[in-house]
Amino acid sequence: MKDSLKTKQELIKELSVLKKKIGKLGKSESQQKLIEMELHKSEHKFRQLAEDMPALICTFLPDSTLTYVNKAYCELFQKRPDDLVGKKFLDFLPDYATRENVVRQYMSLTAENPVKTYEHKVILSDGTDQYHWHRWTDRAFFNDNGKISHFQSIGQEITERKRADDALRENEDRLMRISSIISDVTYSCTSDENGTFSINWMMGAAELVTGYSIDEIKEQGCWGFLVIEEDKSLFEENVIGLAPGSTESCELRIRHKNGGIVWLASCAECVMVSEKFSRSVLYGGIIDITERKLAEVESKLYAKELEDANTALRVVMSRQNNDQKILENKLQLNTQELVVPYLKKLKDTKLDSRQKDYLSVLESNLNNIVSPYMFNLSAAYKNLTPQEIQIANLIRQGKNTKNIAELLCASAHTVGTHRNNIRKKLKLRNSKSNLRSHLLSLS
């Protein structure tokens, strides 16, 4: 397209020279006709060249009246040349501010600076309410008095590029707002054709997290140089290796500028902003999670210590249970061998009724000592007094209130009071359950 523009500019110069020749025509009529023919040929070449070019080409007067439009210009506005020539192109612009800006741009051209490029919005009859964007390069032409006579302009449709830029800025604004709330550091970066990433912008407490300033990180292209070797694959897979439209998060370690290790939680999103131009941008945020990681390590160590302590406690309790069983077995064996035989001999002697009752209680208590009953009773009902436990034991043996009173040298009323207290503590006061049956169930 540059070669085409160069050829067109050369033709314009030829036209300008020929017009000057006509102006100085103090020569013969045949010479004048010859020059006019050459001028006509040059203009014809220019028109052919302009019609074949895909760029938008037009010429216009200082008041924006179009004097020529090429085929591409007509196709864009979906009109014939006759419908456009003689009309003011300022009428195609959407608002007063845009029109004022365009006039200011092309009227600022001078003989020393006759060319200017600028962009503006335009309204097309394409059935949509959206604006289109054009980039125009205007060249001013001057008459013998040094005043602008007309302009020649070459334009390009840039609507899709502008919309891509707008989408990019919108995404950046949105992600910056979100990331600034949830991240310590937020950033945006793009890659070149070689896949090398460079940061567009970075904000947040970068120096506090990494030890490096934002400018120092930008000099390296991206923050990946901080990632320790063991976590490089995580960074490449979950950050710079993202496909457009995907989001990933990971936890990895970096080397702080002071040499220490910092844990980071990284979240990155790759956004396609223009499929036509294959433009994608990587947005990301990182959070310092070192304290949390250290707390996790301490928690694991504490859990391990607690598990070891529980294991040791289980071993001690197991040994204690074994020792208790051995002691119970010894007690039972000694009782059977050293006490019971003498009790049997005592029964064969002449005893009165009271002595026989005492002997019966003594024998029963010895059996209770070597049986789990008394342990079960005291363990299950720790709120029973020693005397209540003694009376409960006699009730279990089948003794009535009168027998118990005689054995304990107490009144029947006192024993009855203890019986009521035992039922109350065993939660049998309003129950029809038999007290002796309940005590036997504890054996």
What is the structure's pLDDT at 92? 87
pTM: predicted TM-score of the whole model, two decimal places: 0.39
Q: Please tell me the least confidently modeled range out of 82-96, 109-123, 285-299, 367-381.
A: 367-381
Is the pLDDT at 174 greater than 90? The verdict is no
What is the structure's pLDDT at 20? 62
* Domains located in the chain, CATH noted: 2-158 (3.30.450.20), 163-288 (3.30.450.20), 350-440 (1.10.10)
What is the structure's pLDDT at 31? 60
Is the pLDDT at 320 greater than 90? The verdict is no
For residues 406 and 378, the model is more confident at 406
What is the structure's pLDDT at 158? 84
What is the structure's pLDDT at 48? 66
Is the pLDDT at 107 greater than 90? The verdict is yes
Q: How far out from the chain centre does Cα 370 lie?
A: 68
Query: What pairing do the DSSP bridges indicate for beta strands 148-157 and 132-142?
Result: antiparallel
What is the structure's pLDDT at 358? 81
For residues 438 and 169, the model is more confident at 438
Mean predicted confidence (pLDDT) in 305-315? 86
Instruction: Copy the structure tokens of residue 81.
Output: 């040349």
Q: Please tell me the least confidently modeled range out of 126-130, 164-168, 212-216.
A: 126-130
Please tell me which of 29-43, 173-187, 337-351 the model is most confident about, judged by mean pLDDT: 337-351
CB atoms within 10 A of CB 92: 21
Is the pLDDT at 407 greater than 60? The verdict is yes
Please tell me which of 103-107, 194-198, 295-299 the model is most confident about, judged by mean pLDDT: 103-107
Is the pLDDT at 172 greater than 80? The verdict is no
What is the structure's pLDDT at 229? 93
**Cβ–Cβ < 8 Å for 163, 275:** no
Under the banding of pLDDT at 50, 70 and 90, the label for residue 54 is confident
Mean predicted confidence (pLDDT) in 72-89? 89
Instruction: Copy the structure tokens of residue 57.
Output: 């080409």
Q: Tell whether the torsion through CA atoms of 238, 243, 248 and 254 is positive or negative.
A: positive
What is the structure's pLDDT at 244? 81
Q: Which residues of 292-330 are buried (b: 16+ CB within 10 A; e: fewer)?
A: ebeeeeeeeeeeeeeeeeeeeeeeeeeeeeeeeeeeeee
Q: Tell whether the torsion through CA atoms of 366, 367, 369 and 373 is positive or negative.
A: negative
Q: Give the relative orientation of helices 2-23 and 29-52 as an angle to the nearest 10 degrees.
A: 160
What is the structure's pLDDT at 315? 86
Beta bridge pairs of residue 282 = 189, 270
**Cβ–Cβ < 8 Å for 40, 25:** no
**Cβ–Cβ < 8 Å for 280, 244:** yes
Mean predicted confidence (pLDDT) in 215-244? 89
* Digit-coded pLDDT (tens) for 238-252: 888 888 888 888 999
Q: Please tell me the least confidently modeled range out of 154-158, 384-388, 417-421.
A: 384-388
Q: Please tell me the least confidently modeled range out of 119-123, 323-327, 386-390.
A: 323-327
Instruction: Copy the structure tokens of residue 109.
Output: 């051209």
Distance CA(45)–CA(7), nearest Å, equals 10
- Average pLDDT taken over every residue of the chain: 79
Q: Which of 119, 117, 100, 101 is nearest to 151 (CA)?
A: 117
% of the chain surpassing 90 pLDDT: 17
| Helical (H) or strand (E) element with 279 | strand 279-288
What is the structure's pLDDT at 396? 81
Is the pLDDT at 182 greater than 90? The verdict is no
For residues 136 and 322, the model is more confident at 136
Q: Please tell me the least confidently modeled range out of 70-79, 291-300, 431-440.
A: 431-440
What is the structure's pLDDT at 181? 47
Q: Please tell me the least confidently modeled range out of 147-151, 243-247, 258-262.
A: 243-247
Under the banding of pLDDT at 50, 70 and 90, the label for residue 222 is confident
Is the pLDDT at 357 greater than 50? The verdict is yes
